[in-house]
Chain A
Amino acid sequence: MIAQELYDLLKTTFSDGILEAKLDGVIDPWVSVAPDRILDVARFLRDDERTQFDLLTLLSGVDMTKGTLAAVYHLYSMKRNHKIVLKTFVPETHPHVQSVASIWRTADWQEREAFDMYGMIFDGHPDLRRILMPDDWDGHPLRKDYQVPEFYNGMKVPY
């Protein structure tokens, strides 16, 4: 299936959950999904006979600046040999996205990383805690407005 067909299929199945799409970009074509529908869309994409996306290659967090965060899902179907990128945009003030860890286990650690680095909260994640930074770290380091702290637990952080 090419990206246009996938988009049409998603649009007819989840009319209100699919927000926008960019299918002719330089980089891979992507479809934007509402943050509270991503779990349904993911389950549909994995289980439907026509799509069969069995592999979540990468889940990453992105700070889009201007108060918006994004979760980006690169999906691949080994059986059908096609791919699509899903994006979910959430405001920094309420960064809640549905977790897809129950669909693809890859998402487990990668959602934890997105939480650690960008502060995105994945609702329904089995064990959402920091994965790379220490547990008592303040802030989310890859946010664009992040200030590197001068002290960590009273110790000076050398630059």
Chain B
Amino acid sequence: MDATLTEVEKGRRPTTIPGLGRALRTEEMVISMGPQHPSTHGVLRLDIVVDGEIVADVIPRIGYLHRCFEKHCEHMANYQQVIPYVDRLDYVAAMSNEFGYVVAMEKMLKIQVPERVEYIRVIMAEFSRIVSHLIAIGTYGLDIGAWTPFLYCMRDREHVLDIFEETCGARLLYNYMWIGGLSHDVKPTFKDKVLEFCKYFRPNIKELNDLLSYNKIFIDRTASVGVLPGDVAVNFGVSGPVLRGSGVQWDIRKNDPYSIYNRFDFDIPFGKGEKGKVGDCWDRYMVRVHEMEQSVNIIEQAAKQLPEGDVQSAIPKRISPNASGPRRVRYTCAPRPRRASWGTTSYPTGEVDR
């Protein structure tokens, strides 16, 4: 093999010019990439050390989007007021955020929620997963030049958002799952609409596969690219579709079930390296597509079993972390009792710990 090529493969810039035979002085350069505008979402700054066109080192700086959620939540008068905040942690899948928070709170306060609430929550969380994955898939295609699949994804996403809007009046930030219950019961037509959506959405996944997933150009650009090995992913605490894309068959809904997930029949999709290596970009993408299929399965089962009941019967009348203590003083934190709760739930982009 050519000596110059080996140096590139080692991740170094070639220091000799072919044919000239003498060393060229090179030095590394630090480039600050981002942050873009303060109002851009997901602002991240990367200090990149480049050696020619080869990135030698990356130092991420993530504090630009720090919105002090914990500090705000400390200043809330009760646990219920936190729910609109958790919506905003990731507005693409707000229902899943709420689910994680209320599960942790109910564990701490020892609240048993009615069956109907559990079923509706599961349906909503899985809808949330579909919505989030549609955006992930659509924009992923968009970023590498496929415009049409994005529009198809957005079209299908609208149908889910319509169901959300009909249920709780909001399309993105719901404040829907409350500690011990739900803010509204679903409409009488809910079950039919959900089943209708499942029927409508299944062929669309196939259409998406034909358009994008098995498109040769798309495969060429994503297969064997950005490989994340499974053991590295576990050691770095990666979860969600990214972990499963690395071939680790791990899903908190199956391995450590919460709520009523143990009642449903579904599979855990994971990366198999069909088009390239296990854990490449295509695997991570495809896990999301398969997860949407599984979510439709869960939604269909849950909608068919949906029991009757009151969705607000278990909501506690008064929850305050410090009912007898002094009211909080501005700028300082009132002492809180030493109670901590922690719940892990599955989330479109990984596990959430609240």
**Do the two shown chains form a genuine complex with each other?**
yes
Is the CB–CB distance between B237 and A141 below 8 Å?
Answer: no
Q: Number of A residues whose C-beta is below 8 Å from B?
A: 34
Check if A81 is an interface residue, CB within 8 A of chain B. Answer: yes
Provide the bound-state CA to CA distance between A130 and B101, in Å: 27
Is the CB–CB distance between B63 and A131 below 8 Å?
Answer: yes
In A56-106, which residues have CB < 8 Å from any B CB? 56-58, 62, 64-65, 72, 74, 76, 78, 81, 83, 104-106
Provide the bound-state CA to CA distance between A76 and B351, in Å: 13
Known: A27-B341, A57-B237. A65 touches B335 (CB 8 A): yes
Q: Number of B residues whose C-beta is below 8 Å from A?
A: 31
The interface residues of chain B, by DSSP majority, are classed as: loop
Is the CB–CB distance between B331 and A106 below 8 Å?
Answer: no
Q: Please name all residues of chain B whose beta carbon is closer than 8 Å to the beta carbon of A147 when the two chains form the complex.
A: 331-332
Check if A148 is an interface residue, CB within 8 A of chain B. Answer: yes
Known: A141-B71, A148-B331. A106 touches B342 (CB 8 A): no
Residue among B234, B250, B330 facing the most chain A CB atoms (10 A cut-off)? B234
Partner of A65, one of B62, B256, B338: B338
In B320-354, which residues have CB < 8 Å from any A CB? 330-333, 335-336, 338, 340-342, 344, 351, 353
Provide the bound-state CA to CA distance between A148 and B330, in Å: 9
Known: A27-B108, A57-B344, A146-B333. A132 touches B63 (CB 8 A): yes
- Count A/B pairs, Cβ under 8 Å: 70
Check if A40 is an interface residue, CB within 8 A of chain B. Answer: no
Q: Chain A's nearest CB lies how many Å from the CB of B69? A: 11
Partner of B235, one of A65, A104, A130, A159: A104
Is the CB–CB distance between B353 and A58 below 8 Å?
Answer: yes
Q: Please name all residues of chain A whose beta carbon is closer than 8 Å to the beta carbon of B237 when the two chains form the complex.
A: 55-57, 104-106
- 1/0 contact string of B235-274 vs chain A (CB within 8 Å): 1110000000000101000011000000000000000000
Q: Which of B's residues lie within 8 Å of A, judged by CB?
A: 62-63, 66, 68, 70-71, 74, 107-108, 110, 234-237, 248, 250, 255-256, 330-333, 335-336, 338, 340-342, 344, 351, 353
